[in-house]
Structure 1
């Protein structure tokens, strides 16, 4: 039992920090506190990422519509997520520093397929998923040069800005956030903030840190729109219900 608990603790603590806490009883060690906090946040983000876009997927399925979701913005977001986790995987960064990318990529790919499907292109959705699986397999196979992966990660900065800007502009033109899930947007915003800290602690990779800083700023714009159009969306739903009753 003791060994089991130690194993669990070592999934969050390094050997050095474990000794500091449980052998030396030094609970005020600052480097260990930062390291433990980073690991804990990383694990929490990964756990949350398993379901973070599920509300968005369910919202699309329940309404049988992807209205208000720009598929090109989704493509660009998927590229950014894929580049990040593929680069981090090949660079052998700790899983706690990038693991959520795996689950976010799967969920974002599903959203892209649903947008295509409800847009009238079921065949295109199937082809898209097949092609995406092939690309990911090639990127993490070890045969893709590291330089290419680094460049993909580097262009994430403008791509994230473009992807989020497309959605922000779409929302502005529609005067509504459409089928965007408030839960998903808020969780992505909180996760990107936490990732700035964990990236500094666990990777020290400048381009990864900058990517999450940009992602946080871009997600913040969507959060502001959620609150700005909140009453507009509720009013439009109410009008829609009244029209259905009238008919």
Structure 2
């Protein structure tokens, strides 16, 4: 093997190991066994996880731009956004401190940044600038405490148990707001389509890469909650109707 070939092989191997385990790399490219089921599942999970993490950088950008261009977050519930942010932050902190593979949870770090940006813009345009900055400072303090290790991992694990009701409560509030308004306001169809697809893929990756039942259940309910919001976006797609009167 020439030095050029050796260098190319090493480069290829290093790139492949981003997705493959050393065992699976040897299975595929030394033994040339491309039908190994366990390696296929592990490689698919890792590849999906990396794709979700990379894609998450832009998931909520359409929503942020929609609010920025409209200079309003009309139709978006601050309570729903805050509950969503809480769920994401607890989930990310728990996975980070448990040292699970970044491909299994890294997207939530980017989603947290974008979600707090949505909350900030909502307050900035529709409430007050001072409250927007107060919210941001409060959140940065909250997430700093979570990831610092000051909160015992046992407590963070227990908090995962409230993630599901928090997640569902946030979505129910947004669903109800959409129903009362008769439209989905400034909700971005692109953002929720990506969240819907991402949460579906996350069910598979969390099973493969963490095996943590609490993490798996959180992703299952996240998928179901996003499915309901997507259903409303599709239902109201053809136009904006008048707000419904609630007795």
Whether TM-score is above 0.5 comes out as yes
Pair 1:23-2:30 in alignment: yes
- TM-score using structure 1 length: 0.93
* SS state at 1:231 partner: coil
Structure-2 separation of matches of 1:14 and 1:63: 47
Pair 1:107-2:114 in alignment: yes
Q: Deviations over 1:170-205 (max 9, x none)?
A: 000000000000000110000000000000000000
Paired positions, count: 235
Which of 210, 213, 225 is matched with 1:206 structurally? 213
Give the equivalent residue in structure 2 for 1:49.
Answer: 56
Structure-1 separation of matches of 2:71 and 2:222: 29
* SS state at 2:31 partner: coil
Give how far 1:131 is off.
1.5
Pair 1:73-2:95 in alignment: no
Give how far 1:23 is off.
0.7
Structure 1 consecutive aligned stretches of length 4 or more whose deviation exceeds 4 Å: none
Which segments of 5 or more consecutive residues in structure 2 lack a partner in the other structure?
1-7, 243-247
Structure-2 separation of matches of 1:134 and 1:162: 24
Pair 1:61-2:68 in alignment: yes
Structure-2 separation of matches of 1:37 and 1:69: 35
Which of 224, 229, 242 is matched with 2:231 structurally? 224
- Please show how residues 153-164 of structure 1 align to structure 2 within 5 Å: 153-164=160-171
Structure-1 separation of matches of 2:10 and 2:138: 45
Which of 97, 101, 119 is matched with 1:94 structurally? 101
Give the equivalent residue in structure 2 for 1:175.
Answer: 182
Structure-1 separation of matches of 2:78 and 2:149: 30
Give how far 1:106 is off.
0.1
Which segments of 5 or more consecutive residues in structure 1 lack a partner in the other structure?
237-247
Structure-2 separation of matches of 1:148 and 1:179: 36
Structure-2 separation of matches of 1:151 and 1:123: 34
Give how far 1:232 is off.
2.2
Give the equivalent residue in structure 1 for 2:125.
Answer: 118
Q: CA RMSD in A?
A: 1.0
Which of 152, 159, 166 is matched with 2:173 structurally? 166
Give the equivalent residue in structure 2 for 1:244.
Answer: none
Give how far 1:220 is off.
0.4
Structure-2 separation of matches of 1:31 and 1:2: 24
* SS state at 2:187 partner: coil
